[in-house]
Amino acid sequence: MRAFILRLRPVAFAFGAGAIFVCAAPVVWGQTGAALIVVHDAETDEAVASATALLVETGQYDVADETGAIEIEDVSYGEWRVEITRLGYRDATLDVEVDERTRCYVIHLVPTAHQTGEVVVTDARVLSFSEREARYLGELAGAKLDRRMGATLAATLKNEAGFAMRSMGPAPARPVVRGLGGSRVVFAEDGVRASDLSATSPDHATTVEPFTAERIEARRGPKTLLASTTAFGGVVDVKRGDVPLARPERVGFEAGGYAESANLGGLYAVKVEAPVGAFAVKGEYAERRTGDLRTPEGTLENSSIQTRDYALGAGVFGERWRAGGAVREFRSDYGVPGGFVGAHPSGVDIEMFRRSYRAEAEYRASAAGVERTTVTFDRTYYTHTEFEKSGAVGAEFVSRAYLGRATFALEPLGALRDGELRASYEFRDLQMGGYVFTPPTTERRLALALYETAPLGGSSYQFSARYEYASATPEAGNPSSRIGWIREREFHLFSASVTGVWETSDATFVGLNLARSTRAPSPEELYSEGPHLAAYSYEVGDPDLPLERGFGGEAFGGFESDAFEATFAAFWYEYDSYISPRNTGEFNYQQLLPIYASAEAPARLTGGVASGTWRPTANFEAATHVDYTRGELLDENEPAPAIPPLKGRVEASLDIGEAAFGASADWAAAQRRVDRFEEPTAGYVVVNCHARYVRDVAGVAVAVTLSADNLLDQSHRNHLSRVKSVSPEPGRNFRIVLRAFY
């Protein structure tokens, strides 16, 4: 066994490449063998997925799976230099030896305290589109995450390529991807769907705290079908590592927080991980308190937020297995503003609570074509209560959800690589009270999904398929003048997706994705009939709604060189039944609320996303992206509701030793293609700047990020905001983010 420590500057983190040991593996006969590398985080000792290992002398490379394991096959005997790269981590090098014995090398990557240029590696094995997209557009980590940090997950992601934000004040905000929102976009923590009700109504907040995330990944393409039948919207996965993946060698500690001026509030958080005998234990706590939002046109009353989020987890590990469990609890008290047509005059106060228990076990051994088996169980209790200013309960929601799933990592078969087979079962019991007249409903989902990849020469292919049985069973109801007889509904869903990527030269690639997407209507879309005061609407469902079905495609490509990178994607989604709650133009005069009715119609969404990055020197970077979505209801030849405008970002950054500086401009065009009774919005340009400094203080890495958002105090309105008629977006906002690692 050998080990070494290397001090990296200017960040001044400690970097360690851990034990090198001989694996229990069969002897490889002949003159070629395999290089096995396991990548861990130097601070948390957790596995680092998607790291790239490049064999410098030959150009061979592979990408780490979810356990951090990398295997470079068919390597000639001898000593080789390997470069390890991962977005959000410092690059590292490792000398490996390949002979008749199969060695495993464990290496620890240091999280970057400031963002440096990523290393892009290409050879005959073309990266899939999802891997390329994660590298360029689909991931927030490290310094980039600190610069974008907002009070909610939606505020953190809103200016990323392809994203927009649906909101009704600061707290009840949810990301929208390419014009698709609600349950078409799945939110997960460590790969498990977050069981809250944020997808069902614009006043419902997400139960995900972005500050304590290790990274935030956005996935589209075939692999999304492992988690959902909605192939177009994608999956936003917040990586936390609540269940430890490996036993750390020492105690790790992280503390941090931030404060901002637009709402005169902030957050503090702490994380600890430690070895305890044969176990690994970890815990975290975060608390946020903000006041009412300040805008260029005044204060948005009743928009404060208070949240508390904690998690405890433990794991135990064997030679071929690991097992663990975790509990996470999230509490939030927040306000929904009032003061406009349909709104409660003084707004509504909401108390929200979620507690999740998770157990996970993994066994690594080859049998019957399976390399690794992972079993996960998750139980979530969620409650959400809406109070009028008088103290009366306007609405109450209680959900109990159970998820069980088994994931099988498949052995290579012919040209097939990195395959996964997943079976899952979900049960949710949804109870509603107050003045909400949606009946109590139980939901069941049983699913089977397959994902495979096939690298062939200068091309790469991915494909997936998912079958799901879904049912919604309401309590027995009576005939209604609006929605008819309430009854059980059953759905059989089938979705599929295939992607091909072709390398047209050493510097360029093109690709094509084709997909079929399906979605079962939610209980709210099927059975609602009554006022929802916090959402400022009288909601009417349709128990006869069919499956939401669509077929679509995406053409994409890119260019890569030492100094310049560019990617583009053009998409087309054709729905023969697109379900959305639409403003009917009618009022329920008893509550003076506009009536929103769930309806389905043929629809088409088209658009594109493009990005470019220029690095003329090692320490300067300029980047831009632009995205556009056009939505149309085909039967009526009218614009689809709630479609974001053409928007984009331009930014530049400079690294000078331990400091980094940057400026950016977020812009949006006017949106005049609107649904009936939907308000148009004007375009805007918002200027921002930031600075970051990193230093090693007595062995503790400290990173400070200063940001100024909307530096010119520009009054602008988010087209997807329900309160845009009375309030613009935040005004000038100064923010400081502090993190310390040990």
Section 48-67 average pLDDT: 77
- The pLDDT of residue 22: 33
Q: What is the mean pLDDT of residues 80-93?
A: 76
pLDDT of residue 552: 95
Counting residues of the chain whose pLDDT is more than 70, the rounded percentage is 85
pLDDT at 122 exceeding the cut of 50? no
Answer with the residue of higher pLDDT: 415 or 479.
415
Q: Cα-Cα-Cα-Cα dihedral of 206, 207, 212, 218, to 10°?
A: -50
CA–CA distance, 664 with 712 (Å, rounded to integer): 12
**Each residue's pLDDT tens digit, 652-710:** 999 887 889 999 999 999 999 998 888 899 999 999 999 999 888 877 888 899 999 99
- Return the CA Rg of the chain: 25
Q: What's the pLDDT score for residue 237?
A: 86
- pLDDT exceeds 70 at position 413: yes
Residue 673 has what pLDDT?
A: 94
pLDDT tens-place string over residues 706-736: 999 999 999 999 999 888 888 899 999 999 9
Question: What is the C-alpha separation between 522 and 24, in angstroms, rounded?
Answer: 50
> Is residue 91 over pLDDT 50?
yes
Q: CA angle 453-459-460, nearest 5°?
A: 15
Of 339 and 510, the one with more pLDDT: 510
Rounded-to-integer distance, Cα 33 and Cα 44, Å: 31
Give the mean pLDDT of 442-447: 96
Residue 127 pLDDT: 42
Q: Do residues 664 and 739 make contact, with C-beta atoms less than 8 angstroms apart?
A: no
Q: 44 versus 444: which is more confidently predicted?
A: 444
DSSP secondary-structure letter at 156?
H
Residue 490 CB neighbours (<10 A): 11
- Digit-coded pLDDT (tens) for 200-248: 777 788 888 888 888 788 888 898 999 999 989 888 888 888 998 778 8
From CA 378, how far away is CA 358, in angstroms rounded? 4
The torsion of the CA quartet 86, 284, 376, 518, rounded to 10 degrees, works out to: -70
> Measured between alpha carbons, how far is 600 from 598 in angstroms, rounded to an integer?
7
Contact (Cβ atoms closer than 8 angstroms) between residue 157 and residue 140: yes
Contact status, residue 469 vs residue 446, Cβ threshold 8 Å: yes
**What pLDDT band is residue 507 in, cutting at 50, 70 and 90?**
confident
391 CB-near residues (< 8 Å, 6+ apart): none
pLDDT per position as a tens digit, 291-318? 999 999 999 989 999 999 999 999 998 8
Superfamily of domain 4-121: Carboxypeptidase-like, regulatory domain (2.60.40.1120)
614, 638 Cβ separation under 8 angstroms: no
Q: Where are the beta strands (DSSP E) in 110-178?
A: 139-141, 163-166, 174-177
pLDDT at 576 over 90: yes
**Among 166-175, 253-262, 601-610, where is mean pLDDT lowest?**
166-175
Measured from the Cβ of residue 636, the count of other Cβ atoms closer than 10 Å reads: 13
Show me where the domains of the chain are located: 4-121, 135-741
Distance separating alpha carbons of residues 737 and 726, to the nearest angstrom = 30
Average confidence (pLDDT) over 19-31: 36
Phi-psi region of 144 (alpha: psi -120 to 50; beta: other; left: phi over 0): alpha
| pLDDT band at 88; cut points 50, 70, 90 | low
Alpha-carbon distance of 269 to 741, in angstroms, equals 12
Give the CATH H-level superfamily of domain 135-741.
TonB-dependent receptor, beta-barrel domain (2.40.170.20)
626: left (phi over 0), alpha (psi -120 to 50) or beta: beta
3-state secondary structure (DSSP) of residue 116: coil
pLDDT greater at residue 447 or residue 92: 447
Least confident of 206-220, 402-416, 421-435, 708-722: 206-220
For the chain, the average pLDDT equals: 83
Summarize pLDDT for 357-375 with one digit per residue, the tens: 999 999 988 788 898 999 9
Is the per-residue pLDDT at 141 higher than 50?
yes
**pLDDT score, position 204:** 83
Q: Name the burial class of residue 120, with classes exposed (0-12), middle (13-18) and buried (19+) by CB atoms within 10 angstroms of its CB.
A: middle
Predicted confidence band at 119 (pLDDT cuts at 50, 70, 90)?
Answer: very low
Q: What is the pLDDT of residue 396?
A: 87
Q: What is the pLDDT of residue 138?
A: 53
Buried b (16+ CB within 10 A) or exposed e, 514-533: ebbbbbbbbbbbbbbbbbbb
Other C-beta atoms within 10 Å of 239: how many?
18
Residue 547 pLDDT grade (very low, low, confident, very high; cuts 50, 70, 90): very high
- Asked if pLDDT for residue 545 goes beyond 50, the answer is yes
Mean pLDDT of 71-79: 78
pLDDT band (50, 70, 90) for residue 19:
very low
Q: Which stretch, 118-122, 169-173, 426-430, has highest mean pLDDT?
A: 426-430
Quick one: the chain helix, strand, coil %, rounded to 5?
Answer: 5, 60, 35
pLDDT of residue 467: 98
